[in-house]
A and B are shown apart, each in its own frame.
Chain A
Amino acid sequence: MSVNVIFISSNDPELYHVMVKKLREKNIKQNYQIRRFNAFGLYKYSSILHIYPDNVKYVNVTVDNIDKIIENHLLNGKIVDSLLYKDEIKNNVKIGKLHIYHKQLRLVLRNSGIIDPEDINSYIERNGYRALAKVLKSMKPDDIIEELKKSNLRGRGGAGYPTWMKWNFSKNTENDTKYIVCNADEGDPGAYMDRSVLESDPHSIIEGMLIGAYTIGAKQGYLYVRAEYPLAIKRLQKAIDDAKSYGLLGKNILGTAFSFDLEIRLGAGAFVCGEETALISSIEGKRGIPRPRPPFPSTNGLWNKPTVINNVETLANIPLILLKGGDWYNKIGTTESKGTKVFALTGKVQKSGLVEVPMGTTLREIIYDVGGGILNDKEFKAVQTGGPSGGVIPEKYLDTEISYESLSQLGSIMGSGGMIVMDKSDCMVDVAKFYLQFTVDESCGKCSPCRIGGKQMLDILTEISEGKGDDNTINKLYRISSAMQKASLCGLGQTAPNPVISTLKYFEKEYIDHIKDKKCNSGKCKSLVSYSINKDECIGCQLCAKRCPVDAIVGDKKIAHSIIESKCIKCGLCYEVCKFNAVVMA
């Protein structure tokens, strides 16, 4: 016998109490456990009510219409149609019973949080290694390429190159020795999609690599993981060992002629090693610096042999595509971009987390429906996608459907999946400076456009943040950007100006405020800000004085305070904590 449970999530705290009271009046309270829960998607509905075990969901329930549910549903078993939650099913993702729930569809993260990542049986139980068995039993390499072609899976590392083409190039290149490499050198600030998959479902990556190796004819593979991911490395190694002991890795896999071995290689923390030619150098034991392409790794890769390099998320998709079929996968997403994308949703958002949505979901849906909106109900300013190679997207484009194409049209990129939400207290000059500082630190120094250009741009941005620019400053930024984009050797330098160009594109006025008016309205650029206390408003509550980390605020209780400018470090804490708007930012 199932227990009856009513879950209530509402903006109105009274709703819960009214429900309890009314059920008590009807003398049926004892039949139910009534529980409060934190629902997703509340921003759209004032309340969500979920009745178990009937599995019926109502929305917009209020103290006024709650009787309808009690009378009809609870007492008479009749569903109240007018309040029923109807899952919004987009045409492009409705496939049989497969539908998205609260905007999310978990393909890559299908096992995350469900299986024990250190138990191979836990993976096998959930159709793990079934795709490998299917492939070995009944598919030729060309069949697999065909299936991937149908699925239209594109690389999830950021560039979006069709996976089937990459595999096909390596497959068609004659050579006794070929390699497959998993690029798990995830380094974008704020991005942790790959780490999560490696830690939560390591076998799915191994299975993806096995299928790739079988397709192109590789006998050896490498997992290039950054050393900063110790838990991912530990779980991957355990997964490799377990797969070997089961005969799913190693010589004559599952008794067939196919043999494949896998080793982990650790990256030592250089961001540029995520670039595939630098990654190859690093695995070869050399300094991790890029080389010009072509030739591409698919024909001339590791030790000059044909090498397929795929991102973690790409590989995690492979087993599912081969199990369910390329046509199945192809139905999910937009015309050009298929499947789902995992995002690490962070920044000024209420429910930060790892989110997987079908391509074609809008930025607004991700930030507001899944993410629950902006932290502390502040005003949205921009969302940054694609990390140091990406850009910011302002409010007017929030309804853009996500795809490789749409994001690059907006001057950002899909990238690997970092998504950082910013509110009005973020300064766009400061944001551009942050990302540029990152790429300058991480530039390998081999080519001068990146090495020198990045540094020049950073110097200019620093000047702007100090209010030192002139009429020509913005032009200079554009000119150096253009040179870096055209002449840098690898993606790191070519895309490094993106955060600057996109903030200039959408928030040029903010740059001009800094340069001409010497003002930073968000208060982030310390040299342009000063704080003072309005004596008429200050009641001398001493809150700011207590919170000031450098004791720069003086004043006795109940007497207006003042700030000692020479001591002030402009952290803005007093401004934030003052309840009387007595602290003034100028």
Chain B
Amino acid sequence: MNKFRSIDDFESFKPEISNNKIKILVGMGSCGIAAGADKVYELFNEEISKRGLNGIDLKKVGCLGLCFSEPNVEVQIEDLPDILYGKVDLNFAIRIIEEHIVEGKIINEHIFDKPYIDVLNL
């Protein structure tokens, strides 16, 4: 990426937005990592390539604020509600891939309410 040479240059810049319809966000602040989020992230990474799944954005994000349920993983799939899973260990991560991502079935456990609305969407 080149430097922005002027304000207009910057304002007309649109970062490339992925067209992928599935997003997996892993909360990876220090607290999430301490609870094992980095291992969960690696597992997602491996499983996605091992299973040859396409159209998935796997993203590291910061703190979701729900310390009591770390590690937290949010799954966003078009046509399904955004789901925040808490206390995601490696076994549960596999279930997220198999049930939620592949079959489109939200898992009937570990779902936590996101207690806030995105202020930029209002």
Contacts and interface: CB of A to CB of B under 8 A. Distances in A.
B1 interface: yes
A247 B3 CA distance: 5
Given A113-B62, A121-B15, A353-B65, A255 B116 contact: no
Contacts of B31: 192, 196
A1 B77 CA distance: 12
A52 to B, nearest CB: 4
A354 B15 contact: no
A316 to B, nearest CB: 12
B60 interface: yes
Chain A interface: which size bin? 35 or more
B114 to A, nearest CB: 9
Interface in A87-119: 96-99, 101-107, 109-118
A255 B9 contact: yes
A257 interface: no
A133 B63 CA distance: 27
A242 to B, nearest CB: 9
Interface size class of B (residues with CB under 8 A): 35 or more
A126 interface: yes
A36 B80 CA distance: 15
A118 B60 contact: yes
B102 interface: no
A112 B4 CA distance: 26
Contact of B62 (A33, A121, A196, A245): A196
Interface stretch (B42-50, B90-98, B103-111): B103-111
B115 A2 contact: no
Interface string B1-31: 1011111011101011100000001010111
B115 A133 contact: no
Given A98-B119, A195-B30, A255-B6, A36 B111 contact: yes
A192 B122 CA distance: 28
A137 B33 CA distance: 40
A192 B34 CA distance: 14
Given A246-B1, A350-B68, A353-B68, A117 B6 contact: no
Contact of B63 (A97, A112, A126, A248): A112
B63 A354 contact: yes
Nearest to A126: B120
Interface in B29-63: 29-31, 33, 59-63
Given A351-B68, A354-B63, A255 B5 contact: yes
Contacts of A102: 113, 115-116
A276 B76 CA distance: 43
B64 interface: yes
A317 interface: no
A39 B114 CA distance: 8
Interface string A118-131: 10011011110110
Interface stretch (A3-11, A173-181, A261-269, A556-564): A3-11
B111 A116 contact: no
Contact of B118 (A114, A245, A247): A114
Interface string A230-266: 0110000000000001111000001110000000000
Nearest to B112: A38
B79 to A, nearest CB: 5
Interface in B81-100: 81, 86
Nearest to B17: A125
Contacts of A24: none
A192 B29 CA distance: 11
Given A110-B119, A200-B62, A254 B9 contact: yes
Interface string A39-68: 110000000100011000000000000000
Most buried by A among B5, B7, B109, B111: B7
A126 B113 CA distance: 23
A247 B1 CA distance: 10
Contacts of A401: none
B66 A351 contact: yes
A350 B27 CA distance: 20
A137 B86 CA distance: 44
Given A3-B104, A112-B64, A231-B30, A254 B122 contact: no
A136 B29 CA distance: 32
B69 to A, nearest CB: 8
Nearest to A138: B7
30 contacts: A1-B79, A5-B80, A5-B81, A35-B107, A35-B108, A36-B111, A38-B111, A38-B113, A102-B115, A105-B116, A110-B118, A113-B27, A113-B61, A114-B118, A115-B62, A117-B61, A129-B10, A200-B29, A200-B61, A201-B62, A229-B30, A246-B4, A247-B4, A255-B9, A350-B68, A351-B68, A351-B69, A352-B68, A353-B67, A354-B67
Given A121-B15, A125-B15, 9 more contacts: A102-B115, A109-B65, A113-B64, A127-B120, A137-B7, A254-B4, A346-B67, A352-B68, A355-B65
Interface of A: 1-3, 5, 7, 9, 33-40, 48, 52-53, 96-99, 101-107, 109-118, 121-122, 124-127, 129-130, 133, 136-137, 192, 195-196, 199-201, 229, 231-232, 245-248, 254-256, 346, 350-356, 370
Interface of B: 1, 3-7, 9-11, 13, 15-17, 25, 27, 29-31, 33, 59-69, 72, 74, 79-81, 86, 104-109, 111-113, 115-120, 122
